[in-house]
Each structure stands twice: as C-alpha cells, then as structure tokens.
Structure 1
C-alpha cells in the first residue's frame, strides 16, 4: 500500500487547485502587461530581435504571455504562442525526465553502470569506463573537456550517428579527473538518450513522445523527423549582418531526425513550455503519477558544484551554484532558482523556476541573442527576487557592453583585414588527407588555385586556408559556422605531418572544440 505524507497530500491538493483554475495563455492582465511589456519592448529594441515568445508564471498561474516579431524576418508571418522554436539545451531536462520515468518504472537505476545498457561504451580511461554510472552522464563531471567532441554534433547537418559518438568518446582526451569538477558537455546526453532507448526498449524519439509529450499534453513539441508544413508555424534561426536579421539554415519540407536530440534537438512552442514549467511548479495528481516526488527531487537536487562567477556574485548575491540532472540551480538574492538555457545556431532560450514561490518564466528567441538572453533573464528574475531593485534592461545591457570594452586584445578575435588566401605551393609540404580519431578525415587540398579545408563527415566545415601575419587559419564558407579556426602544421621527422587547430576567437562557443582535434596526415590529395 502506498503511504503519503501530509506534505505530499498538501502539495497534491495545491496542484489540483491550480489545475482547476483556467489558464488563458494568450491573455494577460493589465497589471501584468504594465509590468512586463516595457521589459520585453526594451530588450527587443536594444538587440533588434527578429522574434520572441515570453511567458511568466506567478503563484502557479500563467499571468503574462507576449509574442513579437516574425518566424522569418520580412515574411510577415507573426510569432504566436503556437510558434515552434528550437529549445536547444532545455531539451536536457526533458531527457532526464524520461530517465526518471524509467527509474519509476523499475527499468533503470541512477547508479547502474552505463555498460549495463551499452556494452560498447568506452571513455578514454578504462577505470572511468567501468565506473561511469547513468547519473554521471548527466552532471558534466565526466572528465571530458568543455564541449569535448561537440564537432560530432554541430554544425548540422552532418553524418555522425549516435553509434559514431559512442565510439568516438574513447579517443577524446580528458581535461580533468573524473567527478572532480564541472565542465559542460553535450555528448554524454546523447549517450544518456541511448541508455534510455536500451532500458525502455524503443528509440529515444519514440520514448520521448510516448513518455513525456503525450502524458503532459505537450501537443506541439517535436522530436525526430516531422513534416514542416503539416505541423506549421515554425520559427527559423537568424544572424545579424549589416544591421539586419538574416535567416540561416532554414528548414526544408521534412525536418530530419538529428543525432543531438537528447542534448539539444527538441522544438516546442510557448504554450507547451509554460505547461512544462507548471508541471514542475504546481504538479497535478496526474502529473505526480507521471513522475514521482522522489524523482522530481533527484532531478533538481544539486549533484555537482559550479564555480560562481564574479558577475553572478555581484549581480545576484549568489553563494552556491550547482548542476542537477538537466537543470542548473543557485541562490539568487536569497531565493532558490532552478533554470536552464539553450543555445543553438541563431536560437536562444531560457526556462527559470522559483520553486518555493511557484513562479517562473520562459522565453525563446529566433536570432543572435546571447546578451539579450542574459539581460532579459536577469531583469525577469529580479522581478521576483529583488523587486525593489531599479536596475532595468539598459543597466544590464550597458554593463555587458562595458565588459567587452574592458576585455584585453588578447581575449578577442584578431583583425583579419590583412588576411590573404594561401596558394597551394605555400603549404605544399603539408597538403593531403588528414585524419582525427573521432572527427574522421579532412582534406587540406588545392582547389581553384586556393588551398581548401573540408571535413568529410561534416560538410559545413569547409573553407579557404588564409594567412594572417605568420599564421594560418581556415575561413569557413558558411557564415553560420563561427568562429574560424587557427591551423598549425608540424613536420614530424620520419612520421606523418600533424595539424592542430584552435578557435580564432578566444570567446568563441565552446562547442567549436577545435583544440581537441589531433589530425595526422594519412594520404595524398586525390
């Protein structure tokens, strides 16, 4: 017989009461509009966003929604609460919820070894392989360097499979010792998705739809392959160029299944993301049957400490920050906050919860918006944690701009105005086919009078080799592949030539993990 504590029953009754109050996500009160519209308007104006969807929950109820802009800049197709956005790494919490479901069903244990479900799984170190638990896949403390192996996931499209990722992990050298520190990675969430598939007896995408989307009524969320026109109302990513928003890598008629789905490949609309958030803040009895209190507590408990930045200490008076299973958490002005962000090629998102206040917010943007996300997230959070504070959008935006101005030149991308294409003769001793143990083959070969770099399994990693001063770098053809990469060739006596690479811009996204590549020359150009 199941026995429930008074606290459990009280929470269940509160969730039931909240569920009985009708939620009109498209309608906001005059008070809420007066509070939140100026914030959203200021962020849109400051950062020239192509489109945004924002929702706020207070005391368990959706009190504000706002959509603005277009699915594609210049198209006239307006963003609505039903517009699908890439939620990127906010997918991780959905993956861990799926795993929690399997734990509740007795099909999985958090402390099971990964090799119980994936016998082919190997890390660089044999001891780590033997001791890697399912839980260790989720806390960014495996020893993988920050963003290690992400070039097998992005840029998309590429031909890397989940089996390729599981195989490639053994070749990625650790950046620190197992379980000793936090360094964000994505590959192990892909592995976690395969663990779920093995334990659940169905592909990850099938399980996500069956075990998460359907029970929670997330009717618009999409994973795997789907038809763009049949689903409809899909936001496209953008980048800023010459002062305007330019669509990038627009979807075709069929959205393909992607390898990265468990780490960052789910798309949802505002209505479903608000329903997802309320499931955590004020779960109904049915939702508590869907995922038990013990699993909910496990997912959002601190499992790995994260260093607290100076900015977070100064802005939020934060003392402790940690990672759970698919969630970050910290004290913010004395309140406990649980959140995650998502970043994926022209799409930015954030979902934040204040569990003790049954409040939170979510927003999604379809443009280059790293600073916009930081500012909007900070101002919305302060509404709950420090309402007396008068710092608004302009203050936080100016503070970020000032940080860039104070950054030393060595921490920024160099001026490339003097760059020159490299002729084939200049690097004739180093042309050829190179191979990295996990990224695979790449050609450094003449074409059209220039020297070109092209990765075999990642077609968007293609560009022209340039010289800047005495150094060489590859300038990618695709403006959406950023940053460019330094190329350092080395002769190795009687051995093969080698190629090492590094981010051209030290502030570039950590998923551009060129530093982890170990290319060796394996053949001549065709």
Structure 2
C-alpha cells in the first residue's frame, strides 16, 4: 500500500528547532494487527520466562488488540485477564499530574503557586529553594536533588514512613545541583504533589483521585489508598526469578495499606482501565469537558529537558527528550511520542502514546522484567513508526544482551562477594551502637544471637547480617536480593559515623545509600 508523507515532527516539538519530512505508514494494516501483536507477546513470554503479562493496543480510538498470558500467581492456575489488577508503579505519576490539572481547571490552584502556600511545613535544604519551589516544579524533576534522593523512605515496602516524614526529611537531603538547572528523576516530590492536591482540593489524595480521574473516566477497577485485596479480588502478585523459576516475592496480605508512595507509584489498575486511560488521553471527545484544552497541552508540554540516551538515538532516530507533567516526551522515527514506565520490585509497566496517530500501547507484567518490557514496547511501536524494518522482540532482546556484554567488557559489573564471612564480633566492638541518620532515622549495629546485625527502625526490610570480605564490611539483607546489598563503612570520629555504598553498579537508584550519613547516638540496647 502506498504510504503518505507528513511533517516528521509535530508542531508541539517545532519550538525546539526540529523539522523535516518522512513517509508515515498508513493507519490501516494489510493484515490483522492482532496476529502481529500476539506473535510479539508470545516471544516476550517465551524468551523472558514471564509468569504473567497483559497488553493492549489502541489505534484511531479503537482497541485493536488485547492479549493476556500466564497466571496471577505462578503455579496457582488463576489466569490473568483484562480485569486483573497490576501495580502500575511510576505510571501513577501521570494520574497525579492529571489530578492537579483538574484542580487548576477548577481554579483551586495554579501551576506557579508556591508549594508553601498549601504546605507551610514544606522545607528544602536551601531556604531560598523552599520559597521558590512552585507546584509545577514538583512534577518535572528539577529540584536539584540527586537521582532517587530519599527513596529509602518509600521503598522497600512495607515500612513505617508517613507522608509527613517525607516532607520533613526533604530538609535534610543535600542538593547535588542548583535548583532548576538539570534533570534528575525523583519520587519524593510527587508525594509532596499529592499532598498539595489534598490541601487544595480539601480531601485526601486517594479520594480526590477516585472522584476526579477514575470515576469520570470509567476506570472502575483502579485502586488507591487502603483497600481489601480479598474483597476486590483478581490481583496479580509480584514475582522474581529464583533457581530458574518464577516465585512470588512480596505477596499481598488481605489488606493493601494506604501507601505513602501512592502519588508517585502506588496505584493499581487493570488492563481494561489502562486501555480506557489511553483512549481518553488520545481523544478528549470520549469524555467531553473532563480536562480543558489548555491543561491537556500543559501535561504534554516539554517543561524540562532530559538527556538524550545513546539507545534512543540508535533505536528511535530521536532528536528530542524532555519531561512534561508526569510524562516523558520524545520523537520516534519522526513521530511524537508520549510515554512512561513503571518499576517496582516484581512489577513492571509501560505505556506509550503516538498522539498524532491516536495510537497507544500498554504493557503490564507481574515480574522483574525490564528487558521484556523494553523489547516488547519497542517492537510494538515500530510497527507504527517504522513498519518495514521487521524488528521483533527477539531482535531487541539481542541488542540488550549486546549492551550488557559491552558493560561487562568495560568492567561495569558487580564484584564477586562470594568469599564473604560473618564479621567477627570481637573485632567490631568499636563500631557497635545506636546510630541516627537525619532523614532515615534510627538504625542499630548490634550483636544478635552471636552475629553482628544492621537494622533500620522504620524500614523492617532493611535488616541483615554484617559480613566481612577482606578488609571491608557489607550488609547481607534478610529479604532483599544480592543486587541491593551495600558496603558498610565506619568512619572514626567523635561521634563515629557509618556510611553505605552500593556494591552493584547497576543497582536500582531507589537504594540511595549515598545520601545516608549515620552518626552514633548511643550504645546497643
């Protein structure tokens, strides 16, 4: 079929100085797109050994593909379907931004209002930044804090940090750049944004989100705040790979609590809900008046430049990368792309839109599956942006494997720590005691049942045995994987201090050990 030509960069990106023309594939495929997406989905499941996955594709407002595979919990025989709930993780951020946009539309707040207008207790490390921080700044990762700063107050879950703890802890997190000078992804500011919404809207964040987003858009299965897992039912559980098989890791209890992280990454939705979300975002006529044109544009405006990665250049022929309100904006083979991912331990999500084509793809996986998510989304989008290249999931998985091999050759690998031994109590007496970090709170480095243990009071999963490797100490967590382990170092002084540092160079950035500085405050209890 003959292709048609169109400007390769939509007017929204022309302001960034980019223009050209290219051939765009016709929106009507010669073959049923479901055949293509089924093949891609099966490749991802087979090659990455996924316990479960759900995927949907929207084209010109219509759902052209819905596919589910696997089980909610491996080995239990309960099949995933379009109504199964998944943690969408950081895809929650776009919903928080949409909630704030609704409040702006209603005149209850302004994007350029100072945060302290709604949260007088809000403090950053620098008093000037405290005064200047606007509501819009909470959404675009320009605070000056480092990547993932303070995330240990949110994860690993469960923990006992409250949203007020988050706000209080911000004052103790030191910036690594000046305010608004650069991009560094964070989660804490979205927690603050949720509290701003609650203050402006006069109701708790979770109630507002249901009233302003879920109900008017018909996202009937989405859950936020505290809810009964038993009553709601049909909930996917997170998995990890262990000994060559998928095992549940961090299963739900009967009640899902009111998560401190909900505005940043604590929402759960089904595939059907996320499909509806895409349809409304791509076509405002589906829910007339839900969000005005000015605020819709604000969500997808490039508010903060982002670094353009080498992979984006090679895979997408991309020229532009920026952050909107809760969305990443870029160009892909000359077409405008609006997207985000979500990552939590055992749960991965991805959503991408090609707004000028009214195309959307969403992927929900109940496993640690970064490669599967990346390769499947890339292959699915390429069928719209570059339909002739024939690249499938297997192709992109091979490219990712090549990238990992390159990092290994460059020495960017986790050091071998298998020779570790329990740290002897007799040589650690000077280090033992109660410690305190200004934002993470109290920790113990104390003997317990003949071994030296490290534990954080408000984060029950940050507990483990202190091991020795040569002259160094490391913490072997009780319930977290080896990829989350830190080095533990004592700094002599008055008082002595403890610092932690990541062992694995590819550790999840939310383990922000580099921001911790524990000072000794007393003896072991």
Query: TM-score band, normalised by the shorter chain?
Result: over 0.9
How far apart are the structure 1 equivalents of 2:80 and 2:482?
26
Q: Is the 8 A contact 2:437 2:516 kept in 1?
A: yes
The equivalent of 2:8 in structure 1 is none
| Separation of aligned partners in 2, 1:482 and 1:454 | 18
Aligned residues of 1:345 and 1:480 also touching (Cα < 8 A): no
Which residue pairs with 1:426 in the alignment?
Answer: 427
What are the Cα deviations for residues 297-343 of structure 1, in whole angstroms up to 9, with x where unaligned?
Answer: 00111100111111110111011100000000101110000000000
- Once residues 131 and 482 of structure 1 are traced to their aligned partners in structure 2, the CA distance between those partners, rounded to angstroms, is 38
Once the two structures are TM-superposed, the CA of residue 391 in structure 1 deviates from its matched residue by: 2.0
For residues 135-188 of structure 1, the C-alpha deviation after alignment (integer angstroms, 9 at most, x for no partner) is: 000000111110000000000110100000000000000011111111000000
CA contact (8 A) 1:155 1:481 kept: no
- 1:272-291 aligned at under 5 Å gives the runs 272-284=273-285, 287-291=287-291
With structure 1 as the length reference, what TM-score do the two structures score? 0.93
Partner of 1:60 in structure 2? 61
Q: Are 1:306 and 2:297 matched, yes or no? A: no
Matches within 5 A, 1:156-305: 156-284=157-285, 287-305=287-305
Query: Which aligned pairs between 1:438-457 and structure 2 lie closer than 5 A?
Result: 438-457=439-458
Secondary structure at the aligned position of 1:488 is classed as strand
1:75 maps to 76
Contact 1:91–1:264 under 8 Å retained in 2: yes
Q: Give the number of aligned pairs.
A: 495
Quick one: distance in 1 between partners of 2:297 and 2:426? 62
How far apart are 1:479 and its partner, in Å?
A: 3.2
Question: CA shift at 1:361, angstroms?
Answer: 0.4
Q: Secondary structure of the residue that 1:112 maps to in structure 2?
A: coil
How many angstroms does 1:497 deviate by? 0.5
Contact 1:432 1:525 in 2 (8 A): yes
- CA–CA distance in structure 1, aligned partners of residues 412 and 141 of structure 2: 25
Contact 2:331 2:337 in 1 (8 A): yes
Change beyond 3 A, Cα 1:106–1:197: same
SS class of match (2:98): helix
Whether contact under 8 Å (1:423, 1:449) holds in the other structure is no
Shift of 1:392: 1.7
Matches of 1:244 and 1:56 in 2, distance apart? 29
Alignment pair present for 1:478 and 2:479? yes
1-side partners of 2:309 and 2:463: how far apart? 36
Shift of 1:33: 2.3
User: Could you tell me how far 1:209 is from its partner in structure 2?
Assistant: 0.8
What's the counterpart of residue 364 of structure 2?
Answer: 364
- Which residue of the partner structure matches residue 323 of structure 2? 323
Give 1:393 deviation, angstroms.
Answer: 1.5
Name the counterpart of 1:521. 520
Q: Is the 8 A contact 1:97 1:212 kept in 2?
A: yes
- Contact 1:150/1:512 (<8 A) preserved: yes
For residue 273 of structure 1, report the CA deviation from its aligned partner: 0.2
- Flag structure 1 segments of 5+ consecutive residues without an equivalent: 1-28
User: d(CA) in 1 for partners of 2:303 and 2:262?
Assistant: 23
Q: Deviations over 1:355-394 (max 9, x none)?
A: 0000110010000101111111111111111111122212
- Provide the TM-score with structure 2 as the length reference: 0.93
Is contact 2:476-2:482 (8 Å) kept?
A: no
Distance 2:168 2:209 in 1: 24
- CA deviation after TM superposition for structure 1 residue 508, in Å: 0.5
Match of 2:24 in 1: none
User: How far 1:480 moved relative to its partner?
Assistant: 5.1
**In 1, are the aligned partners of 2:461 and 2:480 still within 8 Å (CA)?**
no
Q: Any gaps of 5 or more consecutive residues in structure 2?
A: 1-29
Structure 1 stretch 465-474 or stretch 195-204: which is displaced more? 465-474
Q: Structure 1 runs of 4+ off > 3 angstroms?
A: 479-482
What is the CA distance between 1:282 and its match in structure 2? 1.3
Supply the distance in 2 between the matched residues of 1:254 and 1:482 (Cα, whole angstroms): 29
* CA-atom RMSD in angstroms: 1.2
Mapped to 1, the partners of 2:31 and 2:162 lie a distance apart of: 50
Question: In the TM superposition, what is the alpha-carbon distance from 1:288 to its structure 2 partner?
Answer: 3.7
